[in-house]
Amino acid sequence: MEAAISVVTAELVSRFISFLKNKYQSSLNHAESEEKVVQRLQHLLMRVSILVEEADGRYITNSGMLLQLKMLSEAMYKGYRVLDTLRYKSLQDRAGFDKVSINDPSSSSLYLAIPFKRSRTYSEKDDKAMSLESDGALESLEIVVAHMAEFVVLLGGCERMSRRLYDIYLYTNNFMLGRHAEKQKLLTFLLEQNNLVGDHALAILPIIGGVGVGKKTLVAHVCRDERVHSHFSSILHLNGDNLMMILDHGRTMFGTMLVVIEFASDVDDDDWKRFHSFLIRISIGSRIIIISKLKRLARFGSVQPIFLSVLSYDELRYLSKTLAFGSVDPIEHPRLVQIADGFSKELHAMEGALVATNMYADVLRRNLDVQFWRCILDRGIRYVKRNISIYGVHPSTLLEQGHPVDITDFALHPLSMRRYTINASIKEESPSVTLGELLADPSIRPKEEFILISWESRIPPRNTFARFVTSHAEDTSAGSALHPGRKRRGVPV
């Protein structure tokens, strides 16, 4: 009986060892397959990135080429996301192999490293989904690369843009601005030699999009182009609320002008006609750019409007990761890349998250520590949940409408803040603190009311985004009646 048990036991052990060996070999083959996918993705992304950057530095007027450029950039952003996911998964798998091992000299001379406990991050279902997505990303890149020969030839005939220090900063990490096709459409509108609507009329281009999607950033970037500067005698920026004040300055205006008007509300048709007629009288061949979130204002356009939507998740993810890591190679910090994905998912849930993306990136870039990044992400999520619980409205909506929001989770002290228009006298009297300083050390907050600088652009025109912070007790009671019962999923702003 003992002999039979011994034989059966030996057979079971032999089969178990054989199973482990086969499982291990299968894992190795899978790892080799993933490694080949990573290498292929890296190769294709390098080629596509070079082409997109080259295209972004030339003047493109062909609509077909702009469509192909859009396809190239979309495939590129998706490819970078999949590449980062595969790299992190590979890291997790290697960690699994290292944690558990079998070393039984009586059964085999081979050293087996078998991940008995599968990583919680990935299940077999996740593996299959990831495989399908990586195959899809590869296929998209391979298709655009296979059809870009003609695009490259045509691109060679497009005039190259001159780059200045401002542009060098933007392109140090490639595609920080994005909006490649939209930028080219705006350049074409501004630099077209013949008048688009006749000899005695004005060409008008509306740029329509939600709050914070980058309308003013796009226009500011294009207006700094050397050819745009030389094409117009002056570039005039107006506020739609004070549109008619231009009538008082007609004698000082001359030449071909570019007039950029930002509208927060609709304008009366009669007022617009007066303004339009005035510009026609004093300046032939000028251009007008209308910037607004109101689709109704598209009625004043003489050409097709540019509608700016929220950045796709892949593009926003690439932007936020590039800003957060700066000159540091993300490959050296795979755990931070995973946390950065968490920020990207939360930010993308917002309708226009460019300011919030820059705000968080400015804070994260100062401290490349895993615990610090996780802490900031957790605070941001709690901040949103708290405000939705109190007001029933997302905090970004509250700020946009001029209502206070609770920032207890940022300051670790009961405080509220509201939108703030910088006023020199108030700024001199009130102390100021940056968001990065407050998050790093909440104890530095002033005891009295203060100005919170959520983000300040490091490049021209160096816009400052400031909030006014007070005790939140009275604001909470007054604001709790806002939109009662209304709930929305929260994301950080």
pLDDT value of residue 307: 94
% of residues, the chain, pLDDT over 90: 15
Task: Give Rg (Cα) of the chain.
Answer: 28
pLDDT digits (tens, 9 = 90+) for 287-299: 999 999 999 999 9
Read off the tokens for 354.
């460019």
pLDDT digits (tens, 9 = 90+) for 439-482: 888 888 888 888 888 887 766 556 778 888 887 544 444 444 45
| Per-position b or e across 462-492, b if 16+ CB within 10 A of its CB | eeebbbbbeebeebbeebeebeeeeeeebbb
Whether pTM exceeds 0.85: no
pLDDT value of residue 208: 95
Domains of the chain, by residue range, sit at 2-160, 166-308, 313-479
For residue 399, give the DSSP letter. Answer: H
User: What whole-number distance in Å separates Cα of residue 257 and Cα of residue 396?
Assistant: 36
- Mark out the alpha helices in 100-198 (DSSP H runs): 124-146, 149-155, 165-171, 180-191
User: What is the mean pLDDT of the segment spanning 396-415?
Assistant: 86
User: What whole-number distance in Å separates Cα of residue 129 and Cα of residue 89?
Assistant: 13
% of residues, the chain, pLDDT over 70: 70
371 band by pLDDT with thresholds 50, 70 and 90: very high
Spatial CA neighbour of 88 closest among 314, 342, 374, 337: 337
205 band by pLDDT with thresholds 50, 70 and 90: very high
Is-cis flag, bond preceding 461, omega within 30? yes
Read off the tokens for 123.
């299940």
Read off the tokens for 201.
């009329």
Spatial CA neighbour of 278 closest among 236, 317, 318: 236
**Is 3.90.950.20 the CATH number for 166-308?**
no
User: Contact at 8 Å (CB) between 317 and 77?
Assistant: yes
Query: Which phi and psi angles does 105 have, rounded to 5°?
Result: -65, -20
Q: What angle do CA 91, 93, 96 make, to 5 degrees?
A: 110
Q: What angle do CA 347, 353, 359 make, to 5 degrees?
A: 90
pLDDT value of residue 125: 59
User: What whole-number distance in Å separates Cα of residue 358 and Cα of residue 140?
Assistant: 29
Tokens 């048990």 belong to residue: 5
For residue 351, give the DSSP letter. Answer: S
Burial class (CB in 10 A: 0-12, 13-18, 19+), 111: exposed
For 131, other C-beta atoms within 10 Å of its C-beta total 15
pLDDT value of residue 284: 74
Q: Greater confidence, 397 or 126? A: 397
Mean of per-residue pLDDT scores for the chain: 76
User: What whole-number distance in Å separates Cα of residue 347 and Cα of residue 84?
Assistant: 18
User: What whole-number distance in Å separates Cα of residue 346 and Cα of residue 361?
Assistant: 13
Name residue 315's amino acid.
E
Over 80: is that where the pLDDT of 285 sits? no
User: Contact at 8 Å (CB) between 411 and 420?
Assistant: no
pLDDT value of residue 100: 36
Q: Report helix angle 334-348 to 354-364, nearest 10.
A: 160
pLDDT digits (tens, 9 = 90+) for 57-104: 899 988 889 888 888 888 888 888 888 888 877 776 665 544 433 333
User: What whole-number distance in Å separates Cα of residue 144 and Cα of residue 128?
Assistant: 25
pLDDT value of residue 376: 93
185 band by pLDDT with thresholds 50, 70 and 90: very high
